[in-house]
Chain A
Amino acid sequence: MDFRDLASRLGIDEEDFTELIELFVTTTLSDIDKIKKGVANNNPADAAAASHSIKGAAGNLGFDDIFNLAKDMEMQARKGSLDNFENFISDLEKQLDAINNL
């Protein structure tokens, strides 16, 4: 994942992109918390809503892997299932770490 490349593909400069990524990491962390709570309370609707939020932001920033992951999570949670969400969450956190270390 090339930082500069992503920024220029979005048509914004690196400084703005850095700011957006910081915002993305913060909001995604808070969304992950919501998903964890949803899993703990067996509340798929909350998990779906938080996944939807991650999906939207990741998609627009060009983070395709996170976008696809969040999309799968949202679809599954909308059907009422939270199976395998521990793995989903840990994948998500790994992806987010990678971005954070860019």
Chain B
Amino acid sequence: MGNKQPYTVLVVDDNLLNLRLIEKSLSKEGYQIFSADNGPDARAIAAKENPDLILLDIEMPGENGFDVIKKLKDNSQTNAIPVIFLTGVSEVDSKLKGFELGAVDYITKPFHPLEVLARVRIHLKLSIATNSLIQDQASKLRQVTEAQVSMLPSPGDNPGALFGVYYKALEEAGGDFYDILNISEKITGYFVADFSGHDIKISYMTSSVKALLAQNCTPVYSPAESMKMINDVLVEILPDGKYLTACYMHINRITKKMTIINAGHPPVVCQPQDGEPYLIKTQGDVLGMFKDAHFGTQSINVSMGDKFFVYSDGLVESAQNKITWVSGADSLLPVYKKIAEVPYDKAPAQLVNNLFGDDSFPEDDIVVLCVKV
């Protein structure tokens, strides 16, 4: 809604005279008017022209005003347009029903054009104020997202780390996080974490965790020691009740040894070069909660070409189907088998695509890392 552009109002009424009357009184005040005398036309115009406001008559033959508002609200193109409906003076039920369906106000008939004008004005003002509030908040959140994404290393910047990644945050301030630590030329650390909660506070925490990883994941410390140090600091700095589940995978490509430190995170999937995929199950405490935490630790010998999947619970859990990763992870093994031949850099996206399809949306943030030895 710029200053130069006139505000647009869509008027919907099967009574031609009422249409003209409203059209005349509003256009005289500088509004641009679209009019429709039936529901389907009204919805088509609303979707095409995206008017700032809709005045909608309830009693119309065919598709009545209630049907129209329902369909407008169900359509993502039109559901944000405020609707004022026109209704008979004594029809209390229809007023309530209109509000229930998402109308912002009503005007009783017979209406006075000046009353229509006054209500159009007040609701445009309200909508301008709300929109600018939303814009303001959205731009702040976008900054957070940008900052968060810029903190996530890309495979291109870390060619030696041999990993592919799929990362999707449902909200602006996502709870999932990963990092790649180039400890030495042939030793790489892979860290995937999921914060409890998704608020802005958490997104600031990811930068602290990133700093802690850089400080503590060095050749001097064993993976278990690195995680212990990070845990002890996080216990001090995380807000009460906040913690993270995390998996730290440490691969030494010279000794062909891989170590996993698991802090309450879903099990890593190993896809051997030749063989069936299997889960590396470990049990341990979450990160950042307890001073004397015990993490699940496992070291295995690996071969060239083995692939490992580290992921967040958004991949396997479903609140709708009441699946938790404890049971969900097992059921996914056949899916990994199917993508065994997919190169490591394409595997995460392929995996997500196989699980969710093109058009269904995951219920939670998702990060999937595929690492090749």
Residues of A within 8 A of B (CB): 10-12, 16, 19-20, 23-24, 27, 49, 52-53, 56-61, 67
Contact = CB atoms under 8 A, between A and B. Distances in A.
Contacts of B110: 56, 58-60, 67
Nearest to B57: A56
B24 to A, nearest CB: 5
Given A12-B28, A52-B59, A59-B109, A23 B17 contact: yes
Contact of B111 (A16, A19, A60): A60
Nearest to B59: A52
Contact of A57 (B17, B25, B28, B113): B17
Contacts of A53: 14-15
A23 B113 CA distance: 17
A11 B61 CA distance: 30
A34 to B, nearest CB: 13
Contacts of A49: 61
Interface string B53-68: 0000001010000000
B: interface residue count bin = 10 to 19
Given A56-B110, A67-B110, A12 B25 contact: yes
5 contacts: A10-B113, A11-B117, A49-B61, A60-B21, A60-B111
Contacts of A58: 110
Given A27-B17, A60-B112, 10 more contacts: A12-B24, A12-B28, A20-B21, A23-B20, A52-B59, A57-B15, A58-B110, A60-B17, A60-B110, A67-B110
Contacts of A11: 25, 113-114, 117
A56 B109 contact: yes
Contacts of B59: 52
A20 B109 contact: no
Contacts of B25: 10-12
Contacts of B24: 12, 16, 20
Nearest to B16: A27
A55 B240 CA distance: 66
Ranked nearest first, the 10 interchain pairs of A and B with the lowest CB-CB distance are A59-B110, A57-B17, A11-B114, A60-B110, A56-B15, A16-B24, A10-B113, A11-B113, A24-B17, A23-B17
A71 B17 CA distance: 17
B282 interface: no
Nearest to A11: B114
Interface of B: 14-18, 20-21, 24-25, 28, 59, 61, 109-114, 117
B89 to A, nearest CB: 9
A47 to B, nearest CB: 15
B28 A20 contact: no
Contacts of A20: 17, 20-21, 24
A19 B109 CA distance: 21
Contact of B113 (A12, A19, A52, A56): A12
A49 B114 CA distance: 27
B266 to A, nearest CB: 63
Contacts of A10: 21, 25, 112-114
A48 B163 CA distance: 73
Contacts of B17: 20, 23-24, 27, 56-57, 60-61
A43 to B, nearest CB: 15
Nearest to A24: B17
Contacts of B109: 56, 59-60
Nearest to B111: A60
Nearest to A59: B110
Nearest to B117: A11
Which of A19, A56, A67 gathers the greatest number of chain B CB atoms within 10 Å?
Answer: A56
A91 B190 CA distance: 89
Contact of B18 (A12, A19, A56, A67): A56
